[in-house]
A and B are shown apart, each in its own frame.
Chain A
Amino acid sequence: MTMKLTTDPSAATLLPIAKKEGVSTVWDRHRAMQPQCGFGQLGVCCRICWKGPCRIDPFGDGPQRGICGADADTIVARNVIRMIAAGAAGHSEHGRHVALALQGVAEGRLPAYQIRDEAKLRAVAAKLDICTEGQDIPAIAAAVAKATLEDFQNQDHDAPCNWIEASLTKKRLERLQALHVLPHNIDAVITQIMGRTLVGCDADPVNLILGGIKGALADFDGMCLATELSDALFGTPSPVITAANLGVIKPDAVNIAVHGHNPLLSEVVCEVAGQMDEEARKAGAKDGINIVGICCTGNEVMVRHGIPLAANYLSQELALITGAVDAMVVDVQCIMPSVSEIGACFHTAVITTMAENKIPGATHVDFKEETALESARRIVATAIDAYKRRDPRRVNIPDFKQTAIVGFGVESVVGALATLNAEDPLQPLIENIANGNIRGIALFAGCNSTQVAQDSSFVTMAKKLAANNVLMLATGCGAGSFAKHGLMTQEATLEYAGDSLKAVLTAIGTSAGLNGPLPLVLHMGSCVDNSRAVQVAVAVADKLGVDLDQLPLVASAPEAMSEKAVAIGTWSVALGIPTHLGTMPQVTGSAKVTELLTQTAKDLLGGYFLVELDPNLAADKLLEVIEERRKGLGI
């Protein structure tokens, strides 16, 4: 039974305990929800006004239009672009938060933060065409923050957002401009989607989807700025050896799980925890304080500080069922509301921190950048206090953890390549792609979903692509799943990589001082960090003088779930990248929208969605796409 739900070995230990204790998990709730509503699955249910709900008969015999006259194509298009707007809103709120923090640091208002990577800040300023000559760091930070915040303020519809303009190839920008889908202002574009999908507005599925693409590109803009400014504030990731899966929770430590997405809080919690270690020891925890990560907050602190990752999305509840998590500190996104209920079954303090993200039953510690240190101290003190109430008889920590080498930002990838060719670091990568040692590059991103046995599609596809010499990058819960299953190790490279990929990874790893190959899959960070992979691709494309849709580059979200994944997938397509989905998108009720996303997009943008639920076949199809692209380049 367990194997059908998840392939995470920890689950086999913990699910029987959950059952015995009467704790329901995400998989129990998934089962209770079966069968799921077919109208919803097809996307043909409209709840946009109160004349409804309306639903279209997908099989042609019943109603073909809603009460207002909207047909399946209109309804599906509206529903899917609203999802894009929600995803873009999530990422760009994250980005705005980071940009405002940078502004606060520049103005000297935020004692808890500083610019940890000045070189990155300068590089960002240069990228945004900001003159830094003779400027000190606070002045540069202020200018970068100002240029970034313009992306939320600009009212000139013809002037594209600063970040997107600085982040894509010229050809791509022209192509997107010609389709009128370049965003000028993140907030405005998201608002526009909500406005145009209001009852009685935009009903043309093509126009709606183009609006959605613009929203997705706004999402991309928000992600770029969030990633880069986070690096300036908290440090740019560099390779670090750590561990993943629930075995990283320590029985004799105060375990604090940081969960969610935003590094602003977790960074300060990590710092304060270091200072309060002695207090934890005094409370009886002989190993002091142990911070572990969950979801993308976990990825953020993992790639920057080597903090181990306990769980990705679907196993967040299992972390609590170990009975050894003293506090789960959550910020935004992907936090199951069930965690407060499960926390209450144990001694765990579930702590929400954002004014706009509270959970009934959780303790709320209001987090403000100005008073971040105090909030963090309160949080750590709450965890130490909870530790004193822990019942050791209920502690069940599965004995599973895998080593993971993580932290491959653009700078460290280029840095590793520079050990082979300092003059022209990208040359070795391009040469190896051209000579076929590396057939192509695949970016694995996105969620876990109960529609797929947890992590299984990621692992199956990665092994197959690796054997076929495809270089793999990963972010978000995809990265979490590879880390938990031991695919971010040198051993995995030796075991699963095809001969030529193995040779390339070994050459780079050895010359970068790793005493062996690079790991099989390179961990690029959280889901907001998908922009890192684009940066690598743009650099390669610029160097070759081609556009992104010509590169042997594919993306895959084999276990997609979140509205954020809809936004990411859509911008990936808009950038010219064939993008695989391993869960059924809620659009198949409209033949027109399905065709737009899977076929028409190919002509308009070069990228397109490829839906394949079987991970083995999906890997084959991606390999075919890679070969097709290679042929196009004449390599």
Chain B
Amino acid sequence: MKRQRENAIVFADPERCLGCHGCELACAVAHSGTGLHQAALSGLTLRPRNKVVAAGGVMMPVQCRQCEDAPCAAACPTGAMLQESGQVGVREKNCVGCKVCVMVCPFGAISVKHEGSDPESCRTNGGVARKCDLCAGTGRGLPACVEACPTKALSLVDLEEYRQTLIEARAAELAQSLQHLKSRKARI
């Protein structure tokens, strides 16, 4: 049986987020295939795949959770959304831009719009589903948003490592209290 490893996610710490939108800009540029100034100068329309949201006194970027049982993948009528290389991927060539994925995503993490310069033909708007792809294929070690965050509010979390760290921390606590009990018993 195939070994199942949970998809990594970008985790945002609301206590550190300053709402600067730097992650959005970094995301948009990372997926443009060009640099910041060049993209701005040539008037490209680029869209970030994350969105800084402020609500209820909390502020943080929201992006795809890379759900294991992803509603978008289940609902996609063309099979464009699917589990692929440790994330919920979009096969853009299969996508018709029907927005079913947008409607079923509990986080609003998917957009369906055209990117780049304006589409030449008016027969189609050229929009396809786009969401956080953890910057796969951009050649960077860390997602651009994580790199760009000036307060380190964003991190890329590998769930297995995360869980391991958590387990070890709790076990260490337990060991400490056991030791404490033992030494108290010995004293009595």
Residues of A within 8 A of B (CB): 35, 37-39, 41-42, 55, 58-62, 584, 588-589, 591, 594
Contacts and interface: CB of A to CB of B under 8 A. Distances in A.
Given A35-B26, A588-B37, 19 more contacts: A35-B22, A35-B148, A38-B29, A38-B148, A39-B25, A41-B36, A58-B36, A58-B40, A59-B44, A59-B47, A60-B43, A61-B45, A61-B47, A61-B48, A584-B37, A588-B40, A589-B40, A591-B41, A591-B43
Contacts of B47: 59, 61
Contacts of B59: none
**Residue with the highest number of chain A CB atoms closer than 10 Å, among B40, B43, B148:** B40
Nearest to B24: A62
Interface of B: 20-22, 24-26, 28-29, 36-37, 39-41, 43-48, 113, 147-148, 150
A37 B26 CA distance: 9
A349 B150 CA distance: 34
Contacts of A37: 20, 22, 150
Nearest to B35: A584
Nearest to A595: B41
Contact of B36 (A38, A55, A61, A62): A38
Q: Chain A interface secondary structure, helix, strand, loop or mixed?
A: loop
Contact of B147 (A35, A62, A591, A594): A35
Contacts of A591: 41, 43
Nearest to B43: A591
17 contacts: A35-B22, A35-B26, A37-B20, A37-B22, A38-B26, A38-B148, A39-B25, A55-B21, A58-B40, A59-B39, A59-B44, A59-B45, A61-B45, A61-B113, A588-B40, A591-B41, A591-B43
A183 to B, nearest CB: 31
Nearest first, the 9 A-B pairs at minimum CB distance are A59-B46, A38-B25, A60-B45, A588-B37, A58-B40, A588-B40, A61-B47, A35-B148, A38-B36
B28 A59 contact: yes
Nearest to A586: B37
B39 A41 contact: no
A592 B20 CA distance: 25
Nearest to B37: A588
Nearest to B36: A38
B5 to A, nearest CB: 29
Nearest to A35: B148
A588 B48 CA distance: 19
Contacts, number: 50
A412 to B, nearest CB: 41
Contacts of A42: 36-37, 40
B22 A38 contact: yes
User: Could you say which of A41, A59, A584 has the most chain B C-beta atoms within 10 Å of its C-beta?
Assistant: A59
Contacts of A41: 36-37
Nearest to B21: A55
A469 to B, nearest CB: 33
Contacts of A38: 22, 25-26, 29, 36, 148
B46 A61 contact: yes
Q: In the complex, which of the residues B22, B45, B113 has the most CB atoms of chain A within 10 Å of its own CB atom?
A: B22
Nearest to A584: B37
A35 B26 CA distance: 9
Output the residue of B25, B46, B150 with the most chain A CB within 10 A.
B25
Nearest to A585: B37
Nearest to A55: B21
Contacts of B25: 38-39, 58
A353 B46 CA distance: 50
A452 to B, nearest CB: 15
Given A59-B28, A61-B45, A591-B43, A39 B37 contact: no
A594 B37 CA distance: 11
B157 to A, nearest CB: 21
Contacts of A62: 24
Contacts of A589: 40
B97 to A, nearest CB: 16
Contact of B41 (A39, A60, A594): A594
B41 A588 contact: yes
| Most B Cβ at <10 Å: residue of A61, A584, A588 | A61
A407 to B, nearest CB: 39
A39 B24 CA distance: 11
Given A584-B37, A591-B41, A39 B46 contact: no
Contacts of A584: 37
Contacts of B43: 60, 591
